A and B are shown apart, each in its own frame.
Chain A
Amino acid sequence: DGGITQSPKYLFRKEGQNVTLSCEQNLNHDAMYWYRQDPGQGLRLIYYSQIVNDFQKGDIAEGYSVSREKKESFPLTVTSAQKNPTAFYLCASSVHGIAGEQYFGPGTRLTVT
C-alpha cells in the first residue's frame, strides 16, 4: 500500500539532545512537509521541500533542520536550540507542490524532559 510512514510513534529525549524524526513516502510525491501541532491547536509549518536537494523554511523553522537527499525521505532534526520541542510532529506530501492536497503520516509525539 502507498502511504507515508513516520517512526517512531512516541519519542522521548533529554533536554539538550538533538533528535531526528523519520518520514518516508512511497507515493512518488515531489513535495514534502513538516508540521508541528501543540495541544488543542492547529498545524504550523516548519519546513517544506518541493524537490530533491531543495527545501524552504516555513513559519517556525528556528531550532529545526531538514534534508532532502532522496525523493522518498524527508527527515526532521529537532536541535537543542529549539526552546519548546515537546509537541506532535506531522509529515505530509503532495503531488502538485505546496498548493495541492496533502497526505499526512500518522505523526510522532516527541516529549523532551
Chain B
Amino acid sequence: EIVLTQSPATLSASPGERATLSCRASQTISNNLAWYQQKPGQAPRLLIYGASTRATGIPDRFGGSASGTEFTLTISSLQSEDFAFYYCQQYSDWPTFGPGTKVDIK
C-alpha cells in the first residue's frame, strides 16, 4: 500500500496570506495525485488532479505542483471559504488518501 504523509497537520493563516500544503508519497506515483477540500458536514470537493491540473470550476488561486514523491498544494491568497480540511489522494496503485491538513484562521 502506498502511504501518503501530509504536513503540516494544522496550518494557521490569515485571509489574504499564501498557504502551502505538502503531501509525500512512500513510493513513486508519477503525477497520479489529486487534492480535495472538505468542510465540516460536507462531502469532499475535487480541486486538483494529475498533480497540477485544476478540476472544472476551481479558482486559479489553487495550484498544484510535484517534485519526485513530494507534492504541494498552494493557495495563493486565502479567502474565507478556503478554511477547511485538505486531503491528497494517490491513484497510481490502489487509491489511498493522506491524513489531511486543517487550514484554520489565525
Asked if A and B are interacting partners, one says no
Binding site for A on B (CB under 8 A): none
